[in-house]
């Protein structure tokens, strides 16, 4: 008989991640299982964005996606996807991160309690400011910038900026009146929160200053209810394929956001020069070391080597794509 | 013992509320005047809020301040009124008992994951255990308050005149 | 859909069996979720929902605004507000009642709760009107109605809760509520005039004031004006967010009470304790309602109702009228915060699905709550008046409330028909 999985989404139901990645993937699930597995989209999120892992583990909903940074410390391995300078093109680094994660980290079972169907990092993060152009680490000193998660908070502290931990709507209010000086964010996120018009400068960081690691998870009992051959069929369209789909929607959203930004005359976009990038690399090195410690504690033998493997794989493919 | 506990939780809850106000004030002033917001202000706020709520809940149950609709007396006999009170106390006790039990389990899970707040790294498990215990206390208070509830004039079916609807102590309405 | 209907039915039965509303909603949500999803999941859901509601940064705005209102009530500015309004309006027949409405409006600018407004303004206005031989029916009804301005004129605890529940911009809600709040003052003053015209004996005498007295009385209300400007000005200039504004407002009111030497240790403790208790009562309700909402999410009621509405051939405005009628009936039978927590999760998706503005709907809901607070049989404010004037029979209060209820019904209709009244200011301030 048919199994129906109930999907809880903390993003708005019309968000591009839902419309361009999740819903098409749900349709594909139904197709590859010949209708034996269906996904029902719930009208509202079950619980809160931060509680999605608990919600799925305990079966309050069957399927959802989580952001590693929302529960700091729980998923140290997945946090690799949130680090700096992973890559510039989500179409490349999203599936690449998935491959590396599965190869080295999935066996360590940090998502114990749920079935992980994919994990990927979404889009490269940049620096957006209202008035002051950011061209060096010195420029960031003393700026009040909205932080998006624990990693970016550490990063901002590291470079002498002042991390502001407020929700996007609160940040919008504070930006619109100059109470804060800017926000870290992906192009897509800045556009989504309608902050484009508020910004005077955007410094795009080649390789991305940070990212968000998203995981799609399923309740294990619900997963067991699905026939083995259907589970296998779903797995073939998940993992790297779903990561690539997610990466592609974020790439497209980022591209559209940038096009919209270029039209706004008051917003100047520039790309960080190699000196600035070098400064930033130096600044984040201790953060990477700290991450490596946490990952080691979780059982990963040589985290920095894994990170290097990811970076070189992404770099090679991005070069090839050009 | 009960009175003593009520005073203690009331005192701590009030102090924490004052602290909540001060923290918000310092955070805003720090950010705007000294370019230095209070580190971890929002996470302290969240913990304080949970503690205030659960510290006050037993007292609220004891003094019967929860909002109850005393619309009409569908039942007018004293026996029925007492049955209502018993039913209501048992329902309330079960709900908060269940919440307490599951909050405790949440505390166990938080220990397992090492859950902590993002900037100050305050462990979350003690908070969950604390509010779980208070939730149990709250559940028990509903039963302890039962004789008092049954004995109040409101319960004693003086219901024919509409004026008894408004027992002043039930008017602790917050909005 | 059937499940949702059964859920609403069960919760109403429990509520009218005098189970605390918080528990009635929570138990119904627990049972419903348990039957649809599973009992183990349902018990975990209770704790997750409780944790997420109690440990939420955005919700700390609630205790802080309550605290601000209670500090303000402790400062004694209610007396000055009333004196100022009386100096300007007291000269006409029924002027003290009009002055009561205006001073309630003024107090509402610094207090987010209607009940606190009844108690604080009532203690000042009622003895004064009585000493001038106003009929109790007019005085008590004026106080009960005027105090509902506390939840429409910003700051407002109910608007904040609506904003948090529906993720609607709180600054915009505040801006949107200003015109409907002003309309409320005008409506209640009209209700006073109508009452006095019908029954001149209800307000037999008048108090004349000199120009000098008026000037001095107006000057004395500066603390209220300052605090209002601080809170709303801070939000609109972006110096702080609506959440932070609550903390700043509370601190400002605390300083004001200190400066006026009103705060003995005991008074401070009473204010804090009272605010903390109110906080627990509100969060008890919110936790219950959120548990109920988790159950509602699984019933498919939202989609079913929306498609029913779309297929029924009702015009969107007719849907709004139906919703208003439901609120008027519920408002007469229920306490308003509970009503809002119970119904908004169901109506909000429908209303926004029909293309209406969430900010406008929020203001409409609050005006409907104002109406519910003075609508018998369960009009909260009618009872609260009696908490400090127990000698006034409830029937007397109810006798005077008619014109005020009528004014509110007209206001509901005006705000529903002309969204521009609510939406002009938020667009001006924020877009
Ligand atoms: Na107000
Ligand atoms: Na009512």
> pLDDT tens, A90-135?
999 999 999 999 999 999 999 999 999 999 999 999 999 999 999 9
B124 CB neighbours in chain A (<8 A) are none
Q: Are B55 and C276 within 8 A, CB to CB?
A: yes
pLDDT at B76: 67
A171 or C251: which carries more pLDDT confidence?
Answer: C251
Chain B residues whose CB is inside 8 A of the C20 CB are 66-68, 88, 92
Record: contact C41-A58, CB cut-off 8 A: yes
- Which tens digit of pLDDT belongs to each residue from C145-198? 999 999 999 999 899 889 888 888 888 999 999 999 999 999 999 999 999 999
Minimum distance, in Å, between the CA of residue B125 and any CA atom of chain A:
14
Q: Alpha helix (H) ranges present in chain A?
A: 16, 23-32, 52-57, 90-100, 137-140, 150-158, 168-176, 187-192, 220-225, 228-236, 239-263, 274-297, 303-321
Ligand nearest to the CA of C335: 2
Interface of A with C (CB under 8 A): 6, 42-44, 46-48, 50-51, 54-55, 58-60, 166-167, 169-170, 173-179
Nearest ligand to residue B70 Cα: 2
Residues of B with Cβ-Cβ distance to A165 under 8 angstroms: 42, 118-119
Distances (CA, A) of A254 to A194, A260, C178, C286: 14, 10, 39, 38
What is the pLDDT averaged over residues C289-302? Answer: 88
Please give the torsion angle defined by the CA atoms of residues B71, B77, B80 and B85, in that order, rounded to the nearest 10 degrees.
60
d(CA B89, CA B140): 9
Q: Which is nearest to A245 in space by CA: A13, A9, A27?
A: A27
Is the CB of A133 inside 8 Å of chain B's CB atoms? no
Contact A144 B32 (CB under 8 A): no
> How far apart are the CA of A77 and the nearest CA of chain C, in angstroms?
25
The CB density around residue C8, as the number of other CB atoms within 10 Å, is 19
**H-only helix segments in B63-154:** 78-113, 125-144, 146-151
CA distance between the termini of chain A: 48
Q: Which of A173, B50, A16 is nearest to C163 (CA)?
A: A173
- Which of A6, A48, A173 is nearest residue C238 as measured by Cβ atoms? A173
C82-139 pLDDT, tens digit each: 999 988 888 888 999 999 999 999 999 988 888 889 888 988 899 999 999 999 999 9
How far apart are the C-alpha atoms of C204 and C421, rounded to whole Å? 36
Q: What integer pLDDT is reported at residue B152 of this predicted model?
A: 59
Q: Does the pLDDT value for residue C225 go beyond 70?
A: yes
Mean pLDDT over residues C57-83, rounded?
88
C-alpha of C229 from chain center = 20
Strand order across the A144-146 sheet: A162-164, A144-146, A182-186, A125-129, A201-204, A268-271
* Distance (Å, whole) CA A9 – CA A29: 17
Mean pLDDT: which of A195-199, B167-171, C238-242, C365-369 is highest? Answer: C365-369
Distances (CA, A) of C115 to C17, C143, C158: 24, 11, 12
Residue with tokens 């309690």: A113
pLDDT in tens, C309-361: 888 888 999 999 999 999 998 888 777 888 898 889 889 988 998 899 999 99
Ligand located closest to C113 CA = 1
Is B163 in Cβ contact with C23 (below 8 Å)?
A: no
| Interchain CB contacts (distance < 8 Å): A and B | 33
- Side-chain-side CA neighbours of C352 within 13 Å: the count stands at 13
C2-16 and C265-297 helices, crossing angle to 10° = 150
Q: Give residue B175's pLDDT.
A: 65
Question: Closest Cα to residue B174, out of C290, C157, A106?
Answer: C157
**Nearest chain A Cα to C346, which residue?**
A43
- Going from the Cα of C30 to the center of ligand 1, the distance in angstroms, rounded, reads 34
| Residues on chain A touching C294 (C-beta within 8 angstroms) | 46-47, 60
C213-246: buried (b, 16+ CB within 10 Å) or exposed (e) per residue?
A: bbeebbebbebbeebbebbbebbbebbbbbbbbb
| pTM to 2 decimal places | 0.88
Give the H or E element holding residue C223: helix C222-237
Which pLDDT score is estimated for B167?
39
Cis peptide before A34 (omega within 30 of 0): no
* Chain C residues whose C-beta sits inside 8 Å of any chain A C-beta: 37-38, 40-41, 44-45, 48-49, 51-52, 57-58, 167, 169, 171, 235, 237-243, 293-294, 297-298, 300, 302-303, 349, 430
Distance C402 CA to ligand 2 centre (A): 15
Residue A60 to residue C41, Cβ atoms within 8 A = yes
Asked if B45 lies within 8 A of C57 by C-beta distance, the reply is: yes
Alpha carbon distance C280, A92 (integer Å): 50
- The answer to whether B105 faces chain C, any CB pair under 8 Å, is yes
Which chain B residues are Cβ-neighbours of A298 within 8 angstroms?
A: none
Minimal-distance CA residue of chain C relative to A222: C37
Residues of B in contact with C14 (CB under 8 A): 91
Residue range A204-223: mean pLDDT, rounded: 96
Reduced to 3 states, what is the DSSP secondary structure of residue A203? strand
Q: Residue B128: list chain C partners with CB under 8 A.
A: 51
**Cβ proximity of A123 and A90 under 8 Å:** yes
Does A74 touch chain B if contact means CB atoms closer than 8 Å? Answer: yes
Instruction: Inform me whether the pLDDT recorded for C254 exceeds 50.
Output: yes
Q: What's the pLDDT band for C395 if we cut at 50, 70, 90?
A: confident
User: Which of C52, C167, C238 faces A174 most closely, judged by CB atoms?
Assistant: C238
Contacts of A76 in chain B (CB under 8 A): none
How many Cα atoms within 13 Å fall on the side-chain side of residue C178? 16
Candidates A46, A198, A221, partner chain C, best to mutate (most C CBs within 10 A): A46
Q: Which residues contact C285 (CB under 8 A, 6 or more apart)?
A: B67, C21, C22, C25, C337, C338, C341
B67/C54 CB distance under 8 A:
no
- CA-based nearest distance C19→chain B, Å: 5
Whether A281 shows a pLDDT value over 90: the answer reads: yes
**Spatial contact of A87 and A93, defined as CB atoms under 8 Å apart:** yes
What's the confidence (pLDDT) of residue C386?
Answer: 80
Tokens read off for C390: 């127990």
Ramachandran area for residue A7 (φ above 0: left; ψ -120 to 50: alpha; else beta)? beta
A55 interaction partners in chain C (CB closer than 8 Å):
48
B90 touches chain C (CB under 8 A): no
Query: Which ligand minimizes its atom distance to the CA of C331?
Result: 2
Query: Across the interface, do B118 and A153 touch by the CB < 8 Å criterion?
Result: yes
By DSSP bridging, strand A201-204 and strand A37-41 are unpaired
pLDDT interval class at C307 (50, 70, 90): confident
Write the DSSP symbol of residue A51.
G
Q: Do C276 and B52 touch (CB under 8 A)?
A: yes
Q: How confident is the model at residue C62 (pLDDT cuts 50, 70, 90)?
A: confident
Q: How many CA atoms lie within 13 A of A165 on its CB side?
A: 26
Chain C contact set for A176 (CB, 8 A): 238, 430
Tell me, in angstroms, the distance from the centre of ligand 2 to residue C377's CA: 7
- Of residues A32, A72, A33, the one with CA closest to residue A50: A72
> How far, in Å, from the CA of A203 to the mean position of ligand 1?
43
Mean pLDDT of chain C: 90
Cβ–Cβ of B35/A165 closer than 8 Å? no
Backbone torsions φ then ψ of A186, nearest 5 degrees: -75, 155
Q: Which one of B8, B32, B53, B132 makes the best mutation probe of the C interface by having the most chain C beta carbons within 10 Å? A: B53
Average pLDDT over residues C271-295: 91
Q: Which two tokens stand for residue A221?
A: 């009992």
Q: Note whether C239 contacts B173, CB cutoff 8 Å.
A: no
Q: pLDDT truncated to tens, each residue of chain B (175 aa)?
A: 778 888 999 999 999 999 999 999 999 888 888 888 888 898 999 999 999 999 999 999 988 888 787 665 555 678 888 888 899 999 999 999 999 999 999 999 999 988 999 888 899 999 999 999 999 999 999 999 888 777 655 444 333 333 333 333 444 556 6
């Amino acid at each position: 008989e048919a199994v129906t999985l109930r999907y809880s989404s903390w993003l708005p139901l019309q968000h591009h991640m839902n419309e361009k990645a999740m819903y098409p993937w749900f349709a594909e699930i139904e197709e590859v299982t010949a209708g034996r597995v269906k996904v029902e989209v719930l009208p509202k999120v079950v619980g809160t964005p931060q509680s999605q892992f608990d919600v799925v583990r305990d079966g309050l909903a069957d399927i959802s996606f989580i952001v590693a940074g929302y529960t700091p410390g729980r998923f140290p391995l997945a946090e690799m996807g949130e680090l700096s300078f992973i890559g510039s093109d989500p179409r490349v680094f999203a599936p690449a991160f998935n491959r590396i994660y599965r190869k080295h980290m999935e066996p360590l079972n940090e998502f114990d309690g749920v079935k992980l169907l994919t994990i990927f990092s979404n889009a490269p993060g940049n620096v957006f400011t209202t008035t002051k152009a950011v061209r060096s680490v010195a420029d960031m000193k003393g700026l009040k910038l909205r932080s998006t998660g624990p990693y970016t908070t550490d990063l901002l502290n590291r470079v002498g900026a002042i991390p502001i931990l407020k929700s996007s709507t609160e940040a919008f209010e504070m930006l619109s009146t100059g109470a804060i000086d800017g926000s870290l964010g992906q192009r897509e996120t800045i556009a989504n929160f309608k902050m484009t018009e508020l910004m005077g400068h955007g410094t795009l960081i080649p390789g991305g200053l940070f990212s968000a690691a998203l995981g799609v998870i399923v309740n294990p009992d619900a997963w067991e209810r699905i026939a083995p051959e259907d589970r296998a069929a779903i797995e073939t369209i998940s993992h790297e394929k779903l990561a690539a789909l997610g990466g592609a929607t974020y790439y497209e959203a980022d591209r559209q956001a940038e096009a919209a930004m270029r039209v706004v005359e008051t917003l100047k976009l520039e790309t960080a020069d190699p000196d600035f990038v070098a400064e930033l690399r130096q600044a984040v090195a201790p953060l990477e070391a700290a991450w490596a410690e946490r990952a080691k504690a979780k059982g990963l033998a040589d985290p920095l080597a894994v990170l290097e493997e990811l970076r070189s794989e992404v770099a090679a493919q991005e070069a090839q794509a050009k | 013992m009960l009175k003593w506990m009520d005073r203690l939780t009331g005192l701590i809850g009030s102090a924490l509320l004052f602290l909540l106000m001060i923290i918000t004030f310092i955070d805003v002033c720090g950010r705007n005047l000294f370019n230095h917001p209070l580190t971890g202000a929002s996470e302290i706020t969240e913990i304080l809020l949970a503690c205030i709520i659960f510290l006050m809940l037993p007292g609220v149950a004891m003094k019967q301040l929860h909002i109850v609709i005393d619309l009409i007396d569908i039942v007018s006999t004293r026996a029925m009124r007492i049955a209502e009170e018993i039913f209501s106390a048992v329902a309330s006790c079960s709900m908060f008992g269940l919440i307490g039990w599951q909050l405790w389990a949440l505390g166990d899970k938080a220990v397992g994951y090492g859950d902590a707040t993002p900037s100050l790294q305050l462990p979350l498990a003690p908070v969950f255990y604390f509010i779980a215990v208070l939730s149990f206390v709250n559940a028990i208070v509903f039963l302890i308050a039962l004789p008092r509830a049954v004995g109040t004039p409101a319960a004693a079916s003086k219901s024919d005149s509409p004026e008894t609807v408004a027992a002043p102590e039930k008017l602790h309405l917050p909005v | 859909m059937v499940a949702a209907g059964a859920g609403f039915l069960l919760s109403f039965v429990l509520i009218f069996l005098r189970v605390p509303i918080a528990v009635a909603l929570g138990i119904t949500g627990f049972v419903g979720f348990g039957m649809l999803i599973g009992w183990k999941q349902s018990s975990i859901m209770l704790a997750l929902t409780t944790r997420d509601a109690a440990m939420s940064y955005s919700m700390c705005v609630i205790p802080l605004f309550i605290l601000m209102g209670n500090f303000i009530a402790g400062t004694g500015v209610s007396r000055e507000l009333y004196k100022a309004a009386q100096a300007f309006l007291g000269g006409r027949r029924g002027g003290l009642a009009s002055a009561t409405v205006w001073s309630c409006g003024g107090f509402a600018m610094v207090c987010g709760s209607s009940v606190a407004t009844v108690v604080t303004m009532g203690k000042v206005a009622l003895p004064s009107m009585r000493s001038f031989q106003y009929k109790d029916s007019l005085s008590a009804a004026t106080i009960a109605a005027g105090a509902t301005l506390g939840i429409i004129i910003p700051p407002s605890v109910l608007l904040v809760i609506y904003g948090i529940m529906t993720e609607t911009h709180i600054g915009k809600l505040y801006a949107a509520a200003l015109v409907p709040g002003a309309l409320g003052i005008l409506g209640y003053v009209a209700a006073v005039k109508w009452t006095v015209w019908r029954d001149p004996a209800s307000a037999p005498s008048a108090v004349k004031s000199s120009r000098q007295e008026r000037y001095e009385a107006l000057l004395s209300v500066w603390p209220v004006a300052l605090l209002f400007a601080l809170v709303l000005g801070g939000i609109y200039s972006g110096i702080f967010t609506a959440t932070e504004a609550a903390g700043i407002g509370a601190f400002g009111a605390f300083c004001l009470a200190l400066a006026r030497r009103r705060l003995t240790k005991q008074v401070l403790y009473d204010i804090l304790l009272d605010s903390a208790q109110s906080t627990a009562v509100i969060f008890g309700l919110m936790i219950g309602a959120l548990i109920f909402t988790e159950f509602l999410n699984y019933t498919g009621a939202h989609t079913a109702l929306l498609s029913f509405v779309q297929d029924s051939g009702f015009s969107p405005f007719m849907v709004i009228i139906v919703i208003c009628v439901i609120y008027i009936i519920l408002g007469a039978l229920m306490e308003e915060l509970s009503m809002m927590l119970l119904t908004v999760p169901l109506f909000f998706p429908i209303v926004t699905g029909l293309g209406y503005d969430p900010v406008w709907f929020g203001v409409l809901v609050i005006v409907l709550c104002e109406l519910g607070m003075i609508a018998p049989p369960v009009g909260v404010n009618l009872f609260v008046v009696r908490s400090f004037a127990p000698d006034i029979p409830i029937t007397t209060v109810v006798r005077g409330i008619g014109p005020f209820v009528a004014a509110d019904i007209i206001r509901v209709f005006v705000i529903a028909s002309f969204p521009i009244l609510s939406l002009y200011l938020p667009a001006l301030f924020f877009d």
